[in-house]
Amino acid sequence: MPWIEWYNHLAKPAWTPSPSTISVIWTILYPFILLTFGFVFVQAYRRKVASAVVWPFAINLIANLLFMPIFVGLRNVPLAALDIIIVWITIVWCMVAIWAFYRWVALAQIPYLLWVSTATILQLSILLMNWKST
């Protein structure tokens, strides 16, 4: 079964955005993530921030990139829920870790945090609504 059919058959909250809306949101967010995360990695390379500051950004990036392969590829709703929680936690960790060095980077994460907060609630709702079939 194609992934979109599988996705459409999942029970979801009435407020679930369409896949195209979700794509547009990520298309807007990814350039900001690329800019801010890239800036942090460059600053760490230049030794202007401690290497420990990079850890939440690296973990977040990996977890973010793994979400779709887990959710759509493996069709593993519980593991995708765990992954999105890791993404959310590491965004907050990123904001705290970079605040003392570059506040603008921390503030630039707010739209990302807001969207991932919504996505986390959505993913947990999907998990609960499909608990017996996952």
User: Is 72 within a domain?
Assistant: yes
Q: Could you read off the pLDDT of 35-82 as tens digits, one per residue?
A: 999 999 999 999 999 999 999 999 999 999 999 999 999 999 999 999
Q: How far apart are the first and last CA of the chain?
A: 16
Mean pLDDT for the stretch of residues 88-94 = 98
Q: How many separate domains does the chain show?
A: 1
Give the domain extent around 122.
20-133
pTM of the model: 0.94
User: Is 1 within a domain?
Assistant: no
Taking the C-alpha atoms of residue 17 and residue 7, their distance in angstroms, rounded to an integer, is 12
